[in-house]
Homo-oligomer: A and B are copies of this chain.
Amino acid sequence: MNKLVDIVEYMHLVGRSARSAARTIARASTAQKNSALLEIADTIIKRESHILEENAADVRDAKKADLAAPLVDRLTLTAKSVQAMADGLRQIAALPDPVGEITDLRPRPSGIQVGKMRVPLGVIGIIYESRPNVTVDAAGLCLKSGNAVILRGGSEAARSNLALAACINAGLKAAKLNESVVQVIETTDRAAVGHMITLPEYIDVIIPRGGKGLIERISADSKVPVIKHLDGNCHIYIDEKADTEKAVRVCDNAKTRRYGVCGAMESLLVHEARVHDILPRIAKIFADKGVEMRGCERTQAVLAAFDVKPATVDDWSTEYLAPIVSIKVVVNMDEAIDHIEQFGSHHTDAIITEHYTSAQRFIREVDSASVMINASTQFADGFEYGLGAEIGISTDKIHARGPVGLEGLTSQKWVVLGDGAVRA
């Protein structure tokens, strides 16, 4: 038997087990699911030293293989991050159970009552990089929402993930749940991902987490629906009627609070009437904080006292995730909205204005997962939105859009209650 057949058979085995486990977790009680989450948290704490040992071995190999420093950072666990994983599970246990909720149950003229029941999606496949905390976080969210999950983490984290998977399985067992509810792919063979995304009979949705290249590749090849997060090229438009103080405060926060997050402002659009009073104040803050500015010709002229590089067409569509910002002067809101439509990534875009109709038009017409008025784009986050947790941020329009919490891991089926009702 060759290696390829082994992997194909292995993935089918994993898929079948997940499908079968999905039925048991879908009907598990809230108490049982919460009990599993707390048991997993306790086990992780109990096995902290073992988890850290396995992780240290992963980190040692990664350094030997010259993995880039930021990736080694993401791979590395500490006593503090192990505690954070356990705390995260306890927080998920404390969230309301989305499964079983019936809404909009209404009587119909025919005599039936029709409503919607929230139910798990079934089996979720998660493909991610070498970040062991994702293993625990994703397992917890899928478990709470009544789904089985197949986890495929980066190969550099293989030992860490297996140690964490053992904790998860122990917790499931202690709560008398099927251990196959959470399965970690044990092979580091890259072919496993290729098979995983072609198993719609076993997997209901794939959530890839990682770089844009990985996600685009998976989306292109997947036969399973994908909930994907591409880039966050977020804009703030400072309207003619913007309040100066709000504009300065929000732009500062949206760019400089953190540079590497998907909700960071990458492009600033300023109404031509406000380039003289607002823009220099913001430029001063950016210059002081070491943010590189790349502007259109008008921006360069207005900010002649600052070091502003010329912006190229590429700049308008770039998610820097770095202390760099592109700046463009626009003649009106239409030009701003057109620019966002042409160059944006439909992630998060904001307007700063005190003008009622402009605000209304902006939130209606800008076609992004999150549209904001007088607020920092860095609010784009499941916790900030009140979801209690977040498995990712979707840039899709189908199914889940924007920050995805427990509800995004469910669907709604119709329930029809009759009393012997027949259709005319």
**A interface residues with partner B (beta carbon < 8 Å):** 23, 26-27, 100, 106, 108, 110, 112, 114, 117, 119, 121-122, 204-205, 220, 223, 225, 243, 245-246, 249-250, 252-254, 257, 341, 350, 361, 363-365, 367-376, 378-381, 384-386, 396-399, 401-403, 411-423
Q: Are A415 and B363 in touch, CB under 8 angstroms?
A: yes
Contact of A401 among B27, B243, B396, B413 (CB under 8 A): B413
A247 to B: closest C-beta gap in Å: 8
Q: Are B417 and A374 in touch, CB under 8 angstroms?
A: yes
Most chain B beta-carbon neighbours within 10 Å: one of A220, A381, A399: A399
Q: Are B414 and A402 in touch, CB under 8 angstroms?
A: yes
Inter-chain CA distance A373–B363, complex, in Å, is: 42
Contact of A422 among B250, B364, B369 (CB under 8 A): B250
Q: Are B250 and A397 in touch, CB under 8 angstroms?
A: no
Q: Are A420 and B372 in touch, CB under 8 angstroms?
A: no
Q: Are A411 and B417 in touch, CB under 8 angstroms?
A: no
Inter-chain CA distance A59–B111, complex, in Å, is: 41
Most chain B beta-carbon neighbours within 10 Å: one of A341, A361, A378, A417: A417
Q: Are B253 and A379 in touch, CB under 8 angstroms?
A: no
Q: Are B100 and A364 in touch, CB under 8 angstroms?
A: yes
A72 to B: closest C-beta gap in Å: 28
Inter-chain CA distance A106–B249, complex, in Å, is: 23
Inter-chain CA distance A119–B205, complex, in Å, is: 23
Q: Are A415 and B372 in touch, CB under 8 angstroms?
A: yes
Contact of A413 among B253, B369, B376, B421 (CB under 8 A): B369
Inter-chain CA distance A106–B361, complex, in Å, is: 21
Which residue of chain B has its CB nearest to the CB of A369?
A: B413
Which residue of chain B has its CB nearest to the CB of A243?
A: B420
A181 to B: closest C-beta gap in Å: 16
A212 to B: closest C-beta gap in Å: 15
Q: Are A421 and B250 in touch, CB under 8 angstroms?
A: yes
Q: Are A385 and B108 in touch, CB under 8 angstroms?
A: yes
Q: Are B423 and A368 in touch, CB under 8 angstroms?
A: no
Q: Are B411 and A372 in touch, CB under 8 angstroms?
A: no
A408 to B: closest C-beta gap in Å: 10
Q: Are A122 and B371 in touch, CB under 8 angstroms?
A: no
Asked whether A106 and B398 contact (CB < 8 A) given A112-B379, A417-B374, A422-B249, the answer is no
Contact of A417 among B110, B114, B257, B375 (CB under 8 A): B375
Contact of A376 among B117, B397, B417, B423 (CB under 8 A): B423
Which residue of chain B has its CB nearest to the CB of A350?
A: B416
A56 to B: closest C-beta gap in Å: 34
Inter-chain CA distance A378–B27, complex, in Å, is: 27
B residues within 8 A CB of A378? 422-423
Contact of A106 among B26, B108, B386 (CB under 8 A): B386
Most chain B beta-carbon neighbours within 10 Å: one of A122, A361, A412, A414: A414
Pull 19 A–B residue pairs with CB atoms less than 8 Å apart, ordered by A: A23-B367, A100-B364, A108-B385, A108-B386, A110-B384, A117-B371, A121-B398, A205-B397, A249-B422, A250-B421, A257-B422, A372-B415, A375-B420, A375-B422, A378-B423, A379-B418, A384-B423, A385-B414, A399-B399
